[in-house]
Chains A and B, each alone.
Chain A
Amino acid sequence: MIGKEDALKVLEKVLSFCKGFEASVTLTASDLSLTRYYDNHIHQNLRRHVQALTVRVVKGKSTGIASTNLLDDGSLRWAVQAAVESMEASGEEKEFPGLPKPEPVQEINCYIPATANLKPRDRAEACAVVIDAAKARGLQASGTYSTGVREVAVASTTGVRAYHVGTEAFFRTIVQDGDNTGYADRLTRDVRDIDPQAVAEEALGKATLFPEAIELPPGRYDTIFEEYALADLIRFLGMIAFGADAKQHGRSFMARRLGEKVMGDNVTIWDDGLDPASLAVPFDAEGMPKKKVVFIENGVARGFVYDSRTAAKDGVRSTGHASEMRGSRFVPRPSNMFFGTGDSTREEMLRSTKRGLLVTRFHYTHCPEPMNVVATGTTRDGTFLIEDGQIVARVKNLRFTESMVEAFNRVEAIASTARLTRDWWGTFDSVLPCVKIKEFSFTGSTMF
C-alpha cells in the first residue's frame, strides 16, 4: 500500500514536472492476494503489487497521455515527456471542455485492516473449510479467495486533489457432483463477513439437490433469478444503455425516451457510488465526486451517467462516472448499480409459481442486439424446475435469449432484501435482490 501522503506527494511531483501545460495525474495501486483451488486442493496462490500512474497533459484543446508503473523520478519525467510528445502528435479536439475544476469530495472509510492484513495461511484455511466439507460428502470443490487493497489518487493543475483507499474480499466456490454443480459466493469489504462454512453449505445444497437432471425444451418459463443471475441481466444495461455517450450516439434504447415508461412500474435502477452497501468509491477517474443517478424510476427512463466531456456536450455537470480507459479517453459508466427491492421473498416466489424455473447464475453472457439490449447466455451451477410451488427437479442448463427491456416489463415479484453481487465477468459489483420474471425466454438447451 502506498498511502495517502505518499500518493499525493508523487502526484504533486508529476504536476511540478508539467511546466507550461495543464495536467491531470491519476495513480492507481492494487495489492492483491488470491488463492484458487480445484479438485479439493490449492493449485494457484499469489500476491502482487500493481500500480499505474497516468499523466494527461493539456495545451489548449490538445491532449496527450502516457503511463508508467514505476514511480522514481526518471520514470515520472519519462511519462510527462511521453505525454507531451503524444499531445504534440494528436492535434486539437474542438469540443474538448478542458480539465474539470475541483468539487468537494466526501471521504468514506472503506479500509478494513482485517481484510488488508489477511495472511496466506488464513486464506488457505478458509478454502480448506470448503474443501473438507466437499470431501466429507465425496464431492469436489473449486473456488477462489481473493483479498485486496485498492488505492486511487487524482490531482490536476486545476486544483483537484482526491485520494481513496478501500479493501475488498471475494470468496466463491463451486461444488461438483459429477455434472451437477452448486455455487455460492460472498463479496464484501470485510473478511469477517465471510463464513466459509455457510458458503460451503449453500454450494453443497445446490450441488446435491435432485441428482438426476432432466431435459426441458426451450420455451417461455416464469423464472426466479437469484441475485447472482440478476447481476448478468442488468450487466448489459450498464454497459450499453446507461452511459451518456450511448445517449449522444443514439446507441441506447433510452436515448430519445427520457420521461417515458420503458419498464414495469416495480422496476427502479440507480447508481450510488457513496452508498456503503456497495463497494463505494467517492470520486471518479477525473476526481469528480460521485452523484446518485437514477436510470429507471418506477419503470420511467430518468437519466444517464456523465463524465466531464459528455456533460459539457449536454450542458450539464459531470455525475462523477468517468471510467478509466488507460491510454484513451474516459467513458461514462455506472459504478455501483442498485436494483430497488420489493416486498416478496424467494420462498414466496417459489410458492406462487405454478410451473417455472429457478436460476442460480449465468455463464458467458453477451449482447447480440445492443439497441434492444437483447442478451444471451447459459445457466450454470443450479437450475431447477418448480411445479405447484415447489422445486421438483434439477434441469440441464438452458440458453436464454431475451431483450432486457422487455423482460423488465414482466417483473412479477422482487425480494425485500438485496446483496452485493458480482456478475460472472466482474464488470459490475451491484446491490441486487432476487426477482421473478414472467415468461422469460429460453431458446436452447445443453447436455449437462
Chain B
Amino acid sequence: MLAELNRILGLAQKLGAEYADARYVSITQEPISVSTDGAPEVSVSRSTGLGLRVLVDGAWGFAATPYIDPRSLEKTADEAVKIAYASALRKKGDGVSLTPLEPKRARWQTPCKVDPFSVKPEEKVEFLTDVVKAAKEIPGVFRATATIMSYREEKQFMSTDGREIEQTIVHSGGSVAVMARGEGDVQSRSFADYAGGGFEFVESLDLKAQAEKLAQEAVELLKAPVCPTGVTDIVMGGSMVALQIHESCGHPIELDRVVGQEATFAGTSFLTPEKKGSFRYGSECVNIVADATLPGGLGSFGFDDEGVEAQRVDIVREGIFTDYLTSRELAPMFGQESNGTMRAVGWENIPLIRMTNINLEPGDWTLDEIIKDTKEGIFVDTPKSWSLDDKRLNFHFGQEIAYEIKDGSLGKMLKNPAYTGMTPEFWNSCDAVAGKDEWRIWGTPGCAKGEPVQVVHVGHGAAPARFRKVKVGVGA
C-alpha cells in the first residue's frame, strides 16, 4: 500500500500541493453482546479506505475514498487540491505553516498477549452468557446485557516530509449493564472498561463478579431514597474521576478548541492562552499528564496522524496549568513543537487534536482513609449523565449510585445522585487522591468531536478522590 500512498502524494504535489499526507486505514470490529431477553448479537465489520490531506497556497483540503485504483487516486488528489484552492479564498494571513519533521520510517504495534480476534465468537458468547446469567439470578433484575468489543486498526501513513509510519492498533474491552424495575421506576447499574491490548484484558475484568454486584445494587437502588440537594463533600470512585478529567480537563486543553476551531459544535475553552504556565487550575494535589506512551492505555499509539511521535506531557503540575494538546499547525503559537495528538477516526476523516491518555496522577491516600477522614458527605460512582457549558466551566454530572458518608463511614445507599460546579473551583477543592494501588487506566471509547463527528478512543488514569463543599442533587 505504501506504493499507492507514494503515488497519490506525487499526484497532489504535481497539482500544486506544497505539503500532503495520506493514510490508508483498515478497521475491523467485532462487537458481541448477550442479553437476557434475546439471542446473542454477533457481528463483524470492516472499513477500508484512503484519506489525503493537502496544503495548497497555505490552505487545507481533504478528500477520502474507499477505492485505491489509479483512477480513484487521481480523482481524490484532484478533489483535495481543488478544495484547498477554495479554502485559500479566505485563508488566515500568509497561510498555514507546519513545524518541521525529520524524515523517518517506523513501525508500531499495540502490545497484545492474546489477539482478540483469535478467540472464537462462540467462546465469547459462552463467556458473556455466564455473565448475564449471574446478574439475572438476582431477584428483581429484569434485564442484563454484557458485551465484548474487539478492535483492530491497521494504518499506513506517508507524508511529503518523508515520514512513513505503519501501525497496528488493537483494542479490547467489555461491559455489563443491569436494569431493575420497580413501581414506576427503573434503576440501572453498569461497568465498562477498554484498553490497548488483547483478550487478556477482557478476562481480567471479572465481568461475572461485576454482574452479581451490579445486579444487587440495581435492585437495592429501587428502594433507596433520592440523593438530597445541598452542599457537601463528595468522594468519587475511579470511573467518575475519569469522566471528570475527560470533560473538565481533557477537552479544555485541546488547543484547537482554545483558538476557536470547534466553536460551532463542541465549543471553546476557558483555558485561554495567557493562562498557560500560571493559572491555578487545581489544588496542589492535582497533577495531570497527557501520556500517549502508557502501556495498556486506550489512548496509546506510536505516532499521531501527522506522523509525530507519541509523547508524555505535563498538563497540570501541583495545580498549575502548564500545557495544551497541540498539533504541527498550532504548537508554534507557543514556540513549541507538536506534542503529537492529531488523530483521525478511520480513513474518511481529517485529523484533529484529540486526547490521548489524560491521567490524574496517584496521590498517597487510600479510599478507606479518605472515607474515614470525611465527617459528612457522599460517595458517588459510575457516570450516568454529563453536561458542560461551551467553555467547559459549568458542569453537571449524574451518577448511577451514591452512599451517604457519616462520621467516616459509608451509610445508606442513595439513588439519582448528581453534582454540579465550576471547573477551577472544583479542582481547587480536591484535597485527597488515592494512591497507585487504586489507580487504573479507564478506557473511554466514545469521545466525540468535530464536524462530521469523529468518535475516538481515549484513556484516563484515575483513582478515587475527594472534593470539598460541592453542590449535590439533580436540581442543585
Contacts and interface: CB of A to CB of B under 8 A. Distances in A.
B79 A371 contact: no
B120 interface: yes
Interface stretch (A58-66, A105-113, A293-301, A336-344): A58-66
Nearest to A51: B66
B259 A39 contact: yes
Contacts of A120: 61, 82-83, 85-87
Contacts of B396: 366, 368, 376, 399, 401, 444
B87 A48 contact: no
A443 B420 contact: yes
Contact of A329 (B41, B64, B181): B41
Contact of B422 (A63, A65, A368, A447): A447
Interface string B32-63: 11000111111111111101000000011111
Contacts, number: 279
A316 interface: no
B62 A46 contact: yes
Nearest to B122: A89
B246 to A, nearest CB: 13
A176 B390 CA distance: 13
Contacts of B37: 95
Nearest to A379: B389
B394 A444 contact: yes
Interface stretch (A9-17, A140-148, A276-284): A140-148
Interface string A43-70: 1111111111010000001111111111
B391 A448 contact: yes
B92 interface: yes
Residue in B37, B385, B476 with the greatest tally of chain A CB atoms within 10 Å: B385
Interface in B446-460: 451-453
B435 interface: no
A92 B44 CA distance: 18
B52 to A, nearest CB: 10
Contact of B385 (A64, A173, A368): A368
Interface residues of B, number: 84
A364 B39 contact: no
B474 interface: yes
Contacts of B261: 36, 38, 43-44, 142
A440 interface: no
Contacts of B64: 46-50
Given A82-B44, A124-B87, A364-B388, A38 B39 contact: no
A45 B474 contact: no
Contact of B264 (A49, A142, A251, A365): A142
Contacts of B62: 44-48
Nearest to A43: B261
B65 A49 contact: yes
Interface residues of A, number: 98
A121 interface: yes
Residue in A37, A45, A87, A144 with the greatest tally of chain B CB atoms within 10 Å: A45
B29 interface: yes
Contacts of B387: 364-366, 376-378, 399
Given A34-B452, A87-B42, A443-B475, A176 B420 contact: no
Interface in B357-378: none
B474 A368 contact: yes
Nearest to B84: A45
Interface string A66-88: 11111000010010001101111
Interface in B133-158: 142-143
Contact of B121 (A89, A327, A329): A89
Given A46-B62, A378-B388, A446-B389, A68 B90 contact: no
B86 A444 contact: no
Interface in B387-441: 387-391, 393-394, 396, 398, 416, 418, 420, 422
B42 A50 contact: no
B47 A69 contact: yes
B319 interface: no
Contacts of B22: none
A120 B259 CA distance: 24
Given A32-B452, A142-B260, A446 B393 contact: yes
A444 B43 CA distance: 44
B422 A64 contact: no
B186 A368 contact: no
B186 A251 contact: yes
B125 A90 contact: yes
7 smallest CB-CB distances across A and B, nearest first, come from A93-B39, A368-B398, A120-B86, A89-B121, A65-B43, A327-B43, A86-B42
5 contacts: A41-B90, A68-B47, A174-B263, A424-B265, A446-B422
Given A78-B46, A446-B393, A447-B394, 11 more contacts: A36-B264, A44-B60, A48-B349, A67-B46, A68-B47, A88-B122, A89-B40, A89-B120, A96-B39, A250-B181, A369-B398
